[in-house]
Amino acid sequence: MKRYVIFLTLIITATTPGNCQEKIDSLMPVRGFCISAPRPAELESFITFIKEELAPRKVNTLILRVDFNFRFESHPELSDSIALSNGEVKKLVKVCRDARIKIIPQINLLGHQSWAGRTGNLLRVYPQFDETPRVKMPEKYVWPNPDKLYCKSYCPLHPAVHDIVFDLVDELCDVFEAGAFHAGMDEVFYIGEDQCPRCSGRDKAELFAGEVTLIRNHLALKNRRLWIWGDRLIDGKTTGMGEWEASFNNTYRAVDMIPKDVMICDWHYEKAEQSAVFFAMKGLSVVTCPYNNKASAMAQVNDMVRFRASSSEVMSGRFSGIVQTVWSGAGQFIDNYYGRKKERGENSTVNCFRAVFNEISRLEK
Ligand SMILES: [Zn+2]
């Protein structure tokens, strides 16, 4: 009986088109693309891009940085003035479902609550959540600056902050019909500040891990998985990776404190750092994230395949794939992609995107 089932299975898998899908799924399970969610006016061209460019390249994961670009019913006070409606999001959901692409919506939690001289919606509407209310937003932003202001953070120990942000997280996951949520959590420079009445004196790694765990547990109630950027979990001094793609502010010990089912997005844009191995050896699943450097991105694709092939069976599956990141808006990227605007230099995001997926396709063959 068992032999008969195996025989039948062989016939079916050998004759269905799903077979080649399975090959690429075992080579590179996550084939991701991360970009800002389109503004309403950019929606149609973005949908065309999904159909004509992402789907044929077998992209299966789309991380959409939504933040406040949605008309939230739970907190309309936090929505951008021009934001995606429920119906517009459903168009994205449909086109991605048809193309077998999973959407993972993102809101930046903890850090990235301001950008340059502009405060983000959460702290603008609820300034009481600000970890550093003493730091005033500058007229003209420059880096470095005396306040070491890169981006504002919310205070993870403020008793009211999670009631609000979890409403947003739940609403966004519901409308996107998402099984995973990306909370950002990169480049958190302000955490456990001495002047914060709740956080002062606390261990920054414990604060960071506490926030990750709280968000993870909230998502787990609805069987949703948390994805985050990995930089706060790497020791920037010992590794020489610096204070951006790794941590100089003592958060890195959190790597041993967070739940093991959090997916780590390990971004390195200049070099194919080998830190995916570090995360996998800690028991965490990891995707490597290139940006605009074609040579290092191609090395990252090949590293990921090699890590999967040369690791123990236990660890191999944690090397989950590649996510190409784009840091311009969706509209601008698409204009660059179709040559309506010119992205300068060899190291363009468009070139990198093409190179990453060409390389995956080449390795598949
Ligand atoms: Zn605080």
Query: pLDDT tens, 41-55?
Result: 999 999 999 999 999
- Per-residue pLDDT of 228-243, as tens digits, reads 999 999 999 999 999 9
**Average of per-residue pLDDT across 148-168:** 98
Question: How many angstroms does the Cα of residue 255 sit away from the middle of ligand 1?
Answer: 21
Q: Which two tokens mark 195? A: 């002047």
Question: How many angstroms does the Cα of residue 177 sit away from the middle of ligand 1?
Answer: 32
Question: How many angstroms does the Cα of residue 95 sit away from the middle of ligand 1?
Answer: 41
pLDDT at 24: 96
Question: How many angstroms does the Cα of residue 140 sit away from the middle of ligand 1?
Answer: 26
- How many helices, marked H, and strands, marked E, lie in the chain? 13, 10
Rounded distance between C-alpha atoms, residue 43 and residue 89, angstroms: 9
Question: How many angstroms does the Cα of residue 101 sit away from the middle of ligand 1?
Answer: 38
Question: How many angstroms does the Cα of residue 198 sit away from the middle of ligand 1?
Answer: 5
Question: How many angstroms does the Cα of residue 158 sit away from the middle of ligand 1?
Answer: 7
Closest among 191, 192, 189 to 200, alpha carbons compared:
192
pLDDT at 7: 45
- Per-residue pLDDT of 267-287, as tens digits, reads 999 999 999 999 999 999 999
pLDDT at 343: 77
Question: How many angstroms does the Cα of residue 129 sit away from the middle of ligand 1?
Answer: 8
Question: How many angstroms does the Cα of residue 296 sit away from the middle of ligand 1?
Answer: 38
Question: How many angstroms does the Cα of residue 359 sit away from the middle of ligand 1?
Answer: 44
Closest among 36, 85, 82 to 63, alpha carbons compared:
36
Residue 2 pLDDT class (50, 70, 90 cuts): very low
